[in-house]
Structure 1
Amino acid sequence: MSTSVDDYAVGRVVETQIHPNVSWGAIMVGAVVAVSLGTMLNTLGLAAAASLVETLTRETPTTQSMAVGSGVWLALSTAISLFLGALAAARLAHRWDMTDSALHGLAVWGVATLLAAALLGSAMSGGVAAGVRGVGAAAGGAANAMGAAVPALTPEDALDGLGGRLFGQGNAAATPREEAMAEASQIFLRRMRDGQWVPQDRARIEVLIAAIAGIPQPEAATRINETEAAVQATLQRAEETARRAADAAARATAVGAFWAFAALLLGLGAAVLGARSGTHPGRAALARRRDTVRV
């Protein structure tokens, strides 16, 4: 309460009620409301997207259309939830100034964003986290799964699939054949890793293959060359597949990031608009007369 000499002179007392600049309680309530509504709407979006999958009739929408639809839904649900959360915060904070209300809406947006990020980053289980995370990651899910399903192919793996071409079916005794195959495999893999033949290794493997497969040494040399070309082709195809998967995953990540940025930007505008909508200029004058001046 504050008074002045002139006020006493005219027999009037001015009572001033001071509000704090920031109402953190209202901001936290608005943020919780926004995150809860966003979780509910995103869970609904996930259910709608899952209902469109038709594996039996193969009428499932394309990955691109699903990604676009998920991004649009994420942006709209974010805007709606932040608008209502900021509106609730402005009403609870009793802000009668448009600028103060807009700043409270901005604070609701910031707190809600941090709260949502903390919830998504924690080890939550159940449908709430799955719903929010599922809609946000729908754009890149297929590409990431494809990239994870393409392991790096090693020369050993390639040779395992082409060992019959190299060794054939010989008549040597079991133990000597196994030892010879092991030595030949080591020599062949060393060549694949080094990128070129060591002269003594080349001569040795021709002898081993001829003995293992029971064929002349010139035919063994031809078989080694064919197997070498086949292994290189297999490795090149595997590398190309892995590169395509990585490229698709990178593009999907970029698209998802752009959609997330658009959702945050739209949510920011919605939060400010919602907070300003929660302010009634008509009630502001009455509140100021009631709260600041009493005669």
Structure 2
Amino acid sequence: MQARTSTAEETTIGTGVEGAPALPPRISWGAVIAGGVVAVAIGALLNLLGLAVGATTIDPATPGDTPSASLLAKAGGLWLLLANLIGLGIGGWVAARLSGTSDDTDGLLHGLAVWALGFLLSAVLLGNLAAGAANTAVQGASSVLGGAMQGAGQAVGQAAQAVAPDAARSVDPNALAERLQSALQSGGDPRAMTPDQRRAEITRIIGERVRQGGFLGNQRDRLSQLVAAEANIPAEEANNRIGQLETQAREAAAQAEQAARQAAEKAADAAATGAYWLFAAMLLGAGAAVLGARLGTRREVGLRSYA
């Protein structure tokens, strides 16, 4: 915006600032950080107290004296909510008090800032604890599994040496490879094939049937011939056995699908309920922080002068 000033002798053009002058910032980040840390610390302190009280109610030695799991879960959830509300309320009071403001709106905004910082710090701390617990569990499981596998290998080797000390040294790797290759061959007369060959082809056909959802081409007839030759039964009886197995497989697949749908529905309902409870907890936390900040905001006191 330009201002023009005209006189008889000269014309002066000046430059001004459009709009109201900028106000100084009225937020105290030190007070907000202090309030957030106090809120998290008090919440953690009260949660530890609740954990200690809940642990003292468990008495495995005396049946019937220990509260039920559902009661403990409900009491723990209510105490967790109450502890967070108390911590956020005190944190909001601390932030508003340390900010030195006497404006109610500024005090409420400091309380909201403490609420946001407190939940952020809590999420970071819980994430680190969960990651550390998961890492410890994975390392422990890997160590146990590795030790078990090593012990099993040593036990198998010792058992083989005890039963047939010369058998392990007499195994020909080439003969073993030829036997495996012969077992994987298929397509010939089932009655002229070895049992290993028939079982290998039966396994392959059944695996393809599972992947494809049904038999393709002459796989059903081929499977009937293989089963008849392997079990030494007529082809008609082999067909009946295969039909029964297919019926059972379809029923099992239908039951598994129904169970999976029910489990997914329950999981979705649980996730929705948890999200609603979390939203309510965060909303109540914001209210507690604002109320604490409102109580911690300084009040202007008028001074009366006496002449």
Instruction: Output the TM-score relative to the length of structure 2.
Output: 0.62
Q: Does 1:84 align with 2:83?
A: no
1:52 Cα shift?
Answer: 6.4
Once residues 55 and 289 of structure 2 are traced to their aligned partners in structure 1, the CA distance between those partners, rounded to angstroms, is 29
1:55 and 1:228 mapped to 2: Cα distance? 49
Partner in structure 2 of residue 97 of structure 1: 103
Is the contact between residue 90 and residue 101 of structure 1 (CA under 8 Å) also seen in structure 2? yes
1:121 aligns with 2:127: yes
C-alpha deviation, 1:87, in angstroms:
1.0
Query: What is the SS of the residue equivalent to 2:301?
Result: helix
**After the TM superposition, which residues 47-196 of structure 1 pair with which residues of structure 2 at under 5 Å, given as runs?**
57=63, 61=68, 63=70, 68-122=74-128, 176-196=194-214
Write the letter of the residue equivalent to 1:61.
S
Q: Which piece of structure 1 moves more, 254-263 or 79-88?
A: 254-263
Shift, 1:203, TM fit: 1.0
Change (3 A) 1:40 1:121: same
Q: Is the 8 A contact 2:32 2:114 kept in 1?
A: yes
* RCO comparison, higher one (Cα < 8 Å, 6+): 1
Question: Quick one: percent identity of the two aligned structures?
Answer: 43
List gaps (5 residues or longer) in structure 1.
1-17, 128-171, 290-295
In 1, Cα distance between equivalents of 2:124 and 2:208: 49
* 8 Å Cα contact 1:86/1:271 also seen in 2: yes
Match of 1:285 in 2: 301
Task: Quote the offset at 1:60 in angstroms.
Answer: 5.8
State the shift of 1:204 in Å: 0.7
Q: Give the aligned partner of residue 219 of structure 1.
A: 237
Higher Cα radius of gyration? 2
RMSD, aligned CA: 3.2
Q: 1:265 to 1:125 in 2, by over 3 A?
A: same
Asked if 2 retains the 8 angstrom alpha-carbon contact of 1:187 and 1:205, the reply is yes
Structure 2, unpaired ranges of 5+: 1-22, 134-190
Q: Provide closer, same or farther for how the CA distance between residues 208 and 264 of structure 1 changes in structure 2, counting only shifts above 3 A.
A: same
| 2:41 pairs with 1:36 | yes
